A and B are shown apart, each in its own frame.
Chain A
Amino acid sequence: MNLNVQNNALRSLLNADGRTLENFKFFPGDKLGLTVDEVCSAAALAVQAALADGLVDTAPHSGLQQSQL
């Protein structure tokens, strides 16, 4: 297992600012030859951006009225 720069960025991010990591999962994409570094790097960037924006909630909505089939 190779803990490189991307992984270390994720490591320092997940336990920073009073946060204690409890669980972390990701849903990788389907790119051919996708590497662990690419996924960790993308996850670190996404988490960092969400934290920097103040953890704003933007839940998706279907835009549909609930109905029977």
Chain B
Amino acid sequence: MLRNLVEVFQDRVTLPIEVTEIRTAIQTIGFQDRIILSARTLDTEVLRGTFYQWTERATLYGEPQLVTLVIYPENINICWQRLICAKEMVHVCDQQIAKTVDIEAIVKLAEKLLGPSKAEATDVTDVMALVDKLAQFQALDLLFPKAARAVAKLKLADNSKTLLEIAEWAKIPQQYVELALTDQWETISARFLSMHD
């Protein structure tokens, strides 16, 4: 699922990729009926974003519609807003094992995300927590795709562009640009993607 989405953008060399383009791609591929991106003022020291997916029926016997609400903070800079929206939309591609379908699972996931990280993984919540953290990195493949990374590496190598200029071009936080332009990133990205196959 995620691979199909990444492939939509992988050859793009014109940036920035708008968050709404990612949404359109998800809907075109057919993962989702409706995605609402809602800006709210959030205390970002507590919460930086939320992904809420549900099914509903417009009429009693109507077809169920799959709806996603992504809430992102309007009180942070646009680069972070975009990264958070993309990260949350990656969750549309969550496999069944990574989905939290009741409050008990949500609370357990929160405990894992907020608690001390441990070397051993002992239950399915560890998988959910891993998937959740990976979504941040997988969002990079959407906002700063492979072909664009290749162009950026060349420009960086011949000193015609700086990291700051590339971050401004991709409109994502500079530290994520730096990460995506490391020699190891292409291997890491491919491995992350294969985890979704």
Contact = CB atoms under 8 A, between A and B. Distances in A.
Interface in B16-62: 16-20, 23, 36-40, 42-57
User: Which range contains the number of B residues in contact with the other chain?
Assistant: 35 or more
Contacts, number: 186
Contact of B19 (A8, A27, A59): A59
Give the interface SS of chain B, mostly helix, strand, loop or mixed. Answer: mixed
A50 B40 contact: yes
Contact of A22 (B38, B78, B101, B166): B101
B69 A3 contact: no
A19 B58 CA distance: 10
A10 B103 contact: yes
Contacts of A11: 102-103
B18 A22 contact: no
Contacts of B132: 25
Given A1-B107, A10-B103, A66-B16, A49 B85 contact: no
B44 A29 contact: yes
A67 B161 CA distance: 14
